[in-house]
Amino acid sequence: MEKKAESLERAKRAAGYQAADMIEDGMVVGLGTGSTVYFTIERLSERVRDGLTITGIPTSFQTAVRARAANIPLTTLDENPVIDIAVDGADEVDPKLRLIKGRGAAHLREKCVAAAAKRFLVVVDEKKLVEQLGAAPVPVEVLPFAVMPVLAQLRRLGCEPVIREGVKKDGPVITDNGNFVVDCTFPAIAHPERLEEALDGIPGVIGSGLFCGLVARTTVIVGSAKKVNILSSADIIA
């Protein structure tokens, strides 16, 4: 078990470090949330000490804390509505580079930052590559005021929705935006783009963890214990 955990950590570090080494001096960088992006920030900290000048836009309170500890200056989308690059993780990546994200409940801000970026780097270990999206639940950020009618409409889409509960906290998870997260388990997701559109069309849904519209600017960095593979839209077979 320890060897598997060590192998997974090496894979995540390899992907995270590769992404950090693709950041160029002077860039505004979107900083995602999660364990693999943690290694990106770790490597960026080393590069900042060596003279790299960048500015980061964190997608969560946790990432902001980590970035400050790494001496990465921070900014906002207000100041930089178009940014150079964003780095983030994913829960699943399919062969067309469509994603499910949101295990860390930061997917709404992550999507905003990724959409503002000219290039989107997704750092994952090889276990996150899947033939079809849907093994992982699709997180949906929901306005608390509307959660009950939203749950009813989510069921009509064919999923089993569950309000995410806190750990070491009674009650639901509250996002950095003050909303609930509903995890939606589907039997299968045959048409991710249609599902993303349907989810976004429900009043009270603020955003889902399906990322289907950013494929053209997405590069997936896949780490393993021995090597790193880089996939882009040019590798997609229609």
* Neighbour count for residue 27 (Cβ, 10 Å): 18
Per residue in 77-127, pLDDT (tens digit) is 999 999 999 999 999 999 999 999 999 999 999 999 999 999 999 999 999
What are the backbone angles phi and psi of residue 210, rounded to the nearest 5°?
-80, 125
Domains delineated in the chain:
2-129+213-233 (3.40.50.1360), 138-208 (3.30.70.260)
Q: Of 110, 141, 160, 197, which residue is the catalytic one?
A: 110
Contacts of 199 (CB under 8 A, 6+ apart): 138, 140, 154, 157, 184, 205, 208, 210
Active site residue 110: yes
Joined tokens for residue 194: 């249609």
- Please state, in angstroms and rounded to a whole number, the distance separating the CA atoms of residues 236 and 97: 8
Would residue 204 be called left, alpha or beta, if left means φ above 0 and alpha means ψ between -120 and 50 degrees? left
Contact 220, 231 (CB under 8 A): yes
> What average pLDDT does the structure give for the chain?
95
Q: What is the pLDDT of residue 6?
A: 86
Please determine, for residue 3, whether its predicted confidence score (pLDDT) is greater than 80. Answer: no
Please determine, for residue 1, whether its predicted confidence score (pLDDT) is greater than 60. Answer: no
Per residue in 155-193, pLDDT (tens digit) is 999 999 999 999 988 999 999 999 999 999 999 899 999
Strand partners, 117: 83
Contact 85, 23 (CB under 8 A): yes
What are the backbone angles phi and psi of residue 232, rounded to the nearest 5°?
-135, 180
Higher pLDDT, 238 or 87: 87
Contacts of 188 (CB under 8 A, 6+ apart): 132, 134
Q: What's the half-sphere exposure (Cβ side, CA atoms, 13 Å) at 123? A: 30
Joined tokens for residue 99: 């994603």
- CA 180 to each of CA 32, 113, 143, 153, 193: distance values in angstroms, whole numbers, following the listed order: 19, 20, 6, 16, 23
Please choose, from the candidates 67, 26, 20, the residue with its C-alpha nearest in 3D space to the C-alpha of residue 47.
20
End-to-end CA distance of the chain: 38
**Average pLDDT, stretch 19-29?**
98
